[in-house]
Amino acid sequence: MSIKKQIADVVEELKEELLALSRAIHGNPETGMQEHKAARWQKELLEKYGFTVEIPFCGMPTAFRAAYPSKNPNGPKIAFLSEYDALEGVGHGCGHNIIASGAMGASIALAKTMEANGVPGEVVVFGTPAEETGGGKIPMADAGVFDGFACALMVHPSDRNLIARHGLAAQSVDVEFFGKAAHSSSPGDGVNALASLIALFNGVDSLSHTWTNESKINGIITHGGAASNIVPDYAKASFTVRAGKKKTLLGIFRDLERVAQSAALLTGAGYKVAGADVYAERYPSMTLGEAFKANMESLGEIMNYPDYSAQVGSSDIGNVSLVVPAIHEYLAIAEPGTVIAHHESFRNAASGPRADDVVLLAAKGLAMTGLDVLTDDDLRARMWKEFDEKVRPNQC
């Protein structure tokens, strides 16, 4: 029997456990860095099948690294990525319960079939918390935990089957101004922090047209004063900035710092600009994507290419794709056109019968693609050639 057929059989044997895990995570939504149950359930399942689990990992209580002790570790190392955070108020409206269960199935099935067939190499699954709110993969990628791996593999549920979708770089930036309160009848006694904040918004508008086409900024005022008869001594805005590349975003951040400085000078207020970790743009490996596509088609799924003019979002898989060949492909759990962006319709789909099928399909397709990487020297050479040409020049 072919090893790929064995992979499919192992996933079918795991079916009840994988679907129970998917439903348990879906029914117990936990937001970023609070995913204690989801992390524990994955740890227990992995340990049951012989993995050694390190948790907490990389300074995050709900992150983990789980490795299967390979009898022949002198081969490529495959990383599968799990996500399991939910959305405040919406629950699993992004379907990460499917990502987690698919990653568990893929890693167990690949490790077991490698062992049974003497395939050299190693399987590791990373539990990556808080994809939605901060990006657990960012400190992991920065710490070098993916160094030495041949590839990183994951899927995400969607309303259609897609490979090779791109993603934008993104960063949250907070700007604060510190002024001096005064009665509004004598404004000259105060320093108006809100006036600086309004100048900041106008300055951002003036500069934003100089940024590259994909660059977008959206800002809200979170603090603008307490009462209209008091000159505001404190004002704060939060921005989400997106750009085609992390490199571009770093330049926009410097622009924001300069505008904030000039807006502060205008009134004499103090100021502070704070940028969160940057979600890097995504470089989907086309070589790996084609291998995944062929495997999914062998399982009866038609895989499509994205509309490259469509709007795309941002995810911390981008940071991983900057350090190792990576895929983050999409499998449909809902009809095309379903609202997939953090909506209750997608949450409901994420526990439906098609979602269960997708857990098993994802596990099989990811494990088969991992096997391709382990056993096909030419595939690995083409993956890294693509990486060296497309990705490495953008590392920063």
Residues at the contact surface with Zn ion, assessed by CB under 5 A: 94
Amino acid found at 194: L
Among residues 99 and 264, whose Cβ is nearest to Zn ion?
99
For residue 48, the tally of other CB atoms under 10 A from its CB is 10
Report the nearest approach of Zn ion to the CB of residue 29 (Å). 13
Closest by Cα among 11, 32, 49, 39 to 126: 39
Among residues 94 and 199, whose Cβ is nearest to Zn ion?
94
Among residues 94 and 114, whose Cβ is nearest to Zn ion?
94
Report the nearest approach of Zn ion to the CB of residue 370 (Å). 21
CA 196 – CA 103 distance, rounded (Å):
48
Closest by Cα among 145, 123, 103, 118 to 52: 123
Report the nearest approach of Zn ion to the CB of residue 312 (Å). 12
CA 278 – CA 188 distance, rounded (Å):
40
Report the nearest approach of Zn ion to the CB of residue 329 (Å). 13
Among residues 122 and 132, whose Cβ is nearest to Zn ion?
132
Among residues 167 and 275, whose Cβ is nearest to Zn ion?
167
CA 333 – CA 313 distance, rounded (Å):
19
Among residues 94 and 367, whose Cβ is nearest to Zn ion?
94
Report the nearest approach of Zn ion to the CB of residue 45 (Å). 21
CA 101 – CA 120 distance, rounded (Å):
25
Among residues 234 and 346, whose Cβ is nearest to Zn ion?
346
Which residue's C-beta sits nearest to Zn ion?
Answer: 94
Among residues 79 and 94, whose Cβ is nearest to Zn ion?
94
SS3 118: coil
Report the nearest approach of Zn ion to the CB of residue 96 (Å). 6
Report the nearest approach of Zn ion to the CB of residue 106 (Å). 17
Report the nearest approach of Zn ion to the CB of residue 315 (Å). 7
Among residues 264 and 350, whose Cβ is nearest to Zn ion?
350
Report the nearest approach of Zn ion to the CB of residue 223 (Å). 27
CA 271 – CA 268 distance, rounded (Å):
9
CA 349 – CA 92 distance, rounded (Å):
10
Question: 355 near 333, Cβ under 8 Å?
Answer: yes
Helix and strand element counts for the chain (H, E): 12, 12
Instruction: Phi first, then psi: give them for residue 255, nearest 5 degrees.
Output: -60, -45
CA 201 – CA 101 distance, rounded (Å):
44
For residue 372, the tally of other CB atoms under 10 A from its CB is 18
Q: Where are the alpha helices (DSSP H) in the chain?
A: 3-13, 15-27, 36-48, 96-117, 137-142, 193-208, 246-267, 286-298, 317-321, 344-349, 353-375, 377-390
